[in-house]
A and B are shown apart, each in its own frame.
Chain A
């Protein structure tokens, strides 16, 4: 009898009640945080702790801004997921050394997009820098849209800058693999280098862009001057 009671006492000391997760009509998730922050990046952790609906996509968002939203923040997608469970991924791009970022896990179901709590961390840099594979067309004039293909670009327009010589082009679209830039209005012409700065890292295209301009608009060229 005493042994039984002593055992009960031991169980009482060590027992741990389980949390009961209530299912909702959307996946429920938590942002767990970031670990292993190095100059190569960091490991992002999330936890879908309850889900009774199909998850069509899940992953992480991060940005220097407080607001994190799909389409407006850096994203790493892990695709569909079945059921609840923890997930993690090494994020090794679009992280500038010394910058403070906010990150959050996300999950998308048919009817809802769920964002986890924001977690703040300071980056030590990242392994994968932006690269330019090619751009098209190779020659153009003011107002033309140049499509730059590459990798590890920021998906946030304002986190990318494109330079044609010393002039700043206007980013019209940005994705991880492609940036579309509008050639600024200017009266200059000739062969110019093309470079992209994304998440603080600058990369130049191997070829120059040939720029022919028949329209004389010196005042617009002044407006387009870069401060680099």
Chain B
């Protein structure tokens, strides 16, 4: 069965577009169960849009019911909002030394208790006794007279924290300007003060493993002296790894896969030389590991979502053999056959790819179906020149472990 016939390629492109269009429209906003706290301290339960930290720092998108009207709240409209069991944000007035003209913003709440720790984009803020102080990010600053100037790394946040933590005989000398370090420090301080509230934070990093099988329909076009089109279809299987940081954004994943491909390509060309017809059948067996590396973007929450993946790929060849059968037909009714082996230079192809898939929860696991298009070098060529291109369509069915 050849999926890359004259009609299949346009058909699948149209199908993918038709599939992607409604998905992309319907998946514009990922609403999750949450709440907003109004300025009069009333808490309204509903659905809060899960968006990037940057977008959440300026606007809260909210609706009370699944089909309710969507309302956007600025930091001046509400005092806080949150997504259940994930993240909560509070409206604050940014200290002037951090952002002189920005005014009120939303900051993510990292720790609450005797002291609160917030994060607004790349700046950490500390609140104690209703005093909000910004922890200035470290930066290189010049020191000394102009003739003998040196640049030193300024860590003013360490000094501020040391003063802040003095009553618990703690210091921040070894703390980096990182969420993990600062959170650990403030939580320890709140415990010391016996006034702390546990805020469940999504994990900083998460690794998901994938196991999948699929079908590859590949067309390989060789173009050097002669033009040969090869078609090869095969069953594939692979494993993958997806790395994400749910604490920052749980819909973006770094993805890396290893797909075992054992394919057989068959191509044909003919030419007329010295009055005889030369026919060539080229038979190409290849085993390779296709290694796609890229990003996955999920349109919705991780349980059931369409997703888009894209990236680059590399396919080292494990083993290969090429056999060419030549048939020289003359006008006397004679056919002289010959056979050549491994008469093509081969290389490890590189390529780019894009996938559209759907992931769905099933028996406590996530299963997924994915359609992938890859445009890559063919296998023919060598390190300095590429003599072939491949158009590969993959269909995968798999599970996230």
Contact = CB atoms under 8 A, between A and B. Distances in A.
Interface string A1-44: 11011111111110111111010101011110000000000000
B255 interface: no
Nearest to B216: A12
B337 A116 contact: yes
A117 interface: yes
Contacts of A117: 337-339
B335 A113 contact: yes
A130 B333 CA distance: 34
Contacts of B338: 117-118
Contacts of B131: none
A19 B264 contact: yes
B372 to A, nearest CB: 15
A112 B211 contact: no
B283 interface: yes
B13 to A, nearest CB: 25
Contact of B363 (A1, A8, A112): A1
A1 B399 CA distance: 8
Contact of B260 (A1, A9, A17, A19): A9
Interface residues of B, number: 39
B232 A17 contact: yes
B325 interface: yes
Given A5-B399, A30-B339, A13 B260 contact: yes
A111 interface: yes
A29 B281 CA distance: 13
B398 interface: yes
B337 A8 contact: no
Interface in B294-347: 325, 327, 329, 333-339
A225 to B, nearest CB: 41
Interface stretch (B94-102, B108-116, B233-241): B233-241
B337 A1 contact: no
A62 interface: no
Nearest to A8: B213
Interface size range on A against B:
20 to 34
B334 A112 contact: yes
A26 B332 CA distance: 13
A28 B211 CA distance: 43
Nearest to B210: A5
A115 interface: yes
A28 B326 CA distance: 11
A6 B377 CA distance: 29
A205 interface: no
Given A1-B399, A11-B237, A12-B237, A113 B264 contact: no
Interface in B341-400: 362-363, 365, 367, 397-399
A28 B238 CA distance: 38
Given A8-B235, A15-B235, A22-B281, A111 B211 contact: no
A84 interface: no
B232 A1 contact: no
Contacts of A111: 333
A28 B362 CA distance: 53
B335 A1 contact: no
Contacts of B367: 1
A114 interface: yes
A2 B211 contact: yes
B253 interface: no
B190 interface: no
Given A12-B213, A19-B283, A113-B335, A1 B362 contact: yes
Contacts of A29: 337
Interface in A103-123: 111-118
Interface in B19-57: none
16 contacts: A1-B362, A2-B211, A2-B399, A9-B213, A9-B238, A10-B237, A12-B235, A15-B262, A19-B264, A19-B283, A28-B327, A31-B337, A113-B334, A114-B335, A114-B336, A115-B336
